[in-house]
Each structure stands twice: as C-alpha cells, then as structure tokens.
Amino acid sequence: MMRGFRISPSMAVVAVLVILTLLGAWRYDGFIGTYNVQTVLRYNSMFALVALGMCFVIMTGGIDLSVGSVAAFSSVVAAHLSPYGLLPGLVGGLAAGLLAGLINALIITKLRILPFIATLATMLAASGTALLLANNQSVSVSYDTYFTNLGQGDLLSFMRPEWVDAEGAGILAGILGFILSFPTPAFIALAAYIGGAIIIKHTAFGRHVLAVGGGTEASRLMGLPVDRTIFLVYVISGGMAGMAGVILASQFGAGQPIEGIGWELFAIASVVVGGTLLTDGKGSIGGTLAGALLLGIIFTILNFENGMGWISLSAYWQSVVRGVFLFVVVVLQAKLSKQAKA
C-alpha cells in the first residue's frame, strides 16, 4: 500500500522545518521563546512577501531580479511620506513597488525583452533612484505618526488581557498571549499567502499562470491570455516587493536604499526550496512560505551557533552558505524532475 506513496517537496520542506525547530529548541535556550519566535516572524515576513511575488513570476517561467532594489526604493519612498501618517507611507511605498512592477511588465510584454535583462535593468534603475532620493544615506521615518506600528507593532496587542502575563497563568494563557502578540508584519504576510493560494487554486488567472509556465506557445494556441497573465505576475511581484519595503522602513525606523542587496537570491531560494519548478509551470504557494521560513530558521540557528562560540560565520559567509544551499536544491530538483518525466 505504501508503494504508491510519494512525499511532495512541500511536505519534505515542512518536515525539515519541524526537525530543525525541534533541534533548535533542544540545543539553544530561548530558541522557541516568545521573543525569538516573534523576531524570526517579524524579520522574515519581508522576505516571505518578496518570495511570494517571485513565486508567481517563476510559475510562469520568468524571473524578477529587481525585487530587492524595488523593496529598498519603496522603503525610501515610504520613509519620506511617513511624516504625513501611516496611510500615506503605506500607499506611497506600495505604489512605488507597483510602478516598478508595471515597468517590468511593459518592457517584457510590449517590447519582448527577456525577463532576465528587463528586470536587471529595473534593478539598477530602482537602486540608483533609491540612492538619489535618500541622498546616499538612510532616511529616518517619523515616530510622531503610527507608521512604525506597521513594522514594530503587534496587531492584536490591544486585546491582550493582564492575566495572560500573570505568573503561573498556565500553558493556555501562554498560547493565547503568543497569538495576541503575533507581529503585524507576519499577519500581513500570512494574509498575502492565503490570498495567493486562493488565486492559484480557485481562479482562472491562477490556472492561466500554471498553463503559461507549462508552455507559452501552447497556451497561446489554446487562446489563453498569455501576455496579460505575464503582465499581472510582474505587477504582483512589484507590489509584494513594495509592501516588503514599507515594512522594512517601518520596522527599522528608516528607509534603507541599499538594504535589498541579495534579496532576490533569498526569494528565488525560498521558491525553489518550496518545490516550485523553474520550468513546467508547477509550484506551491504554501511550499514557498515553508521555504522562506526554513531559510529563516537555518540562519537563526547559525546566529545562535555564533553566539555560543562553536562557529563564527560573518554575514558574508552566510551568503555563501545560502548560495551553496540554493545550488544543491536546484540540482536535486532537476534530477527529481527528470525522474518524474521518465
């Protein structure tokens, strides 16, 4: 009966995620404590949003190298608008990301430029624009408005009763306290992923995304709106990068014109690790979320190890580890894809 049973890539990622979390809880004090869990969720929500947009793009067989620079550009725009309130900062940063995504979409669908070249050009343009707007330095946000609550706040903290924090309140009180102190950025990312999963599984657009990834010319012959589908996925990717940039500015208290360097690598790694194929139009929104969390847990473990003094890896070496990890996953994915076709 077990002969036909196969573990999907998404299930495998979730299993590894659980194992590493249990390992971290066993090895490090405070690894699954409220503070560390909230920190991991709050910080990695930005990467998860960028990965979600990248997932839509890769499902169509494309690539978006501009997401990191677009997030940085959006963070600067949001920071400049933050003195006018939370809403102007949010809308302005999101609009900046959508504008970049729109430019990518027009270049790719109207000028027929390859996505790699088009998004590379947008990456450079967004990075330069961010540095110009920021005058080559961080742009502080306003703390006089509620803008920083978006990245630093807890959405349901106002509902947190005092007895939850009382000594000896019990496990259920601890669970309730954790839920009510769930970081706002994590709520935003979770809502985006739920929406993305619904779109892919239950809408015509979602079916078109997968069909285009399976074969552009075949999709055209079937009468599917190929150009419109490709256009929309790049706009979505830009929007997700814009939202990540807003959270970046709000969370760190400043627009960061150079912070997005390497984010595109993290996004691609999350998508690929989550089981989305670089070709064939197959993928998983939930798998991408699990992939982003897995990469976040891996580097959290590395940081804990640095703190214990067993190893000492700088941020540069962590980037090397991330690149090697992505290479191994891509190779394994290619082999599994060949076996599936055989």
Three-class secondary structure of residue 167 per DSSP: coil
Q: What number of H helices and E strands is found in the chain?
A: 14, 2
The 3 state secondary structure assigned to the chain is: CCCCCCCCHHHHHHHHHHHHHHHHHHHCCCCCCHHHHHHHHHHHHHHHHHHHHHHHHHHCCCCCCCHHHHHHHHHHHHHHHHHHCHHHHHHHHHHHHHHHHHHHHHHHHHCCCCHHHHHHHHHHHHHHHHHHHHCCCCEECCCCCCCCHHHHCECCHHHCCHHHHCCCCCHHHHHHHHHHCCEHHHHHHHHHHHHHHHHHHHCHHHHHHHHHHHCHHHHHHCCCCHHHHHHHHHHHHHHHHHHHHHHHHHHHCEECCCCCCCHHHHHHHHHHHCCCCCCCCCCCHHHHHHHHHHHHHHHHHHHHHHHHCCCCCCHHHHHHHHHHHHHHHHHHHHHHHHHHHC
pLDDT in single tens digits along all 342 residues of the chain: 445 556 666 778 888 889 989 999 998 888 888 788 888 999 999 999 999 999 999 999 999 999 999 999 999 999 999 999 999 999 999 999 999 999 999 999 999 999 999 999 999 999 999 999 999 899 999 998 889 989 988 876 655 555 555 555 555 655 666 667 788 999 999 999 999 999 999 999 999 999 999 889 999 999 999 999 999 999 999 999 999 999 999 999 999 999 888 899 889 989 988 888 776 667 889 999 999 999 899 888 888 877 665 566 666 776 777 677 777 777 766 666 665 555
Residue 191, judged by CB atoms within 10 A of its CB (0-12, 13-18, 19+), counts as exposed
> May I ask the CATH architecture of the domain 9-21+31-341?
Orthogonal Bundle (1.10)
For the chain, the structural domain boundaries read: 9-21+31-341
Residue 5 φ/ψ, nearest 5 degrees? -80, 130
Three-class secondary structure of residue 139 per DSSP: strand
Position 1 scores a pLDDT of 43
Query: How many Å apart are CA 35 and CA 302, to the nearest integer?
Result: 17
Q: Are 240 and 135 in contact (CB under 8 A)?
A: no
| 118-124-129-132 Cα dihedral, nearest 10 degrees | -170
Position 298 scores a pLDDT of 87
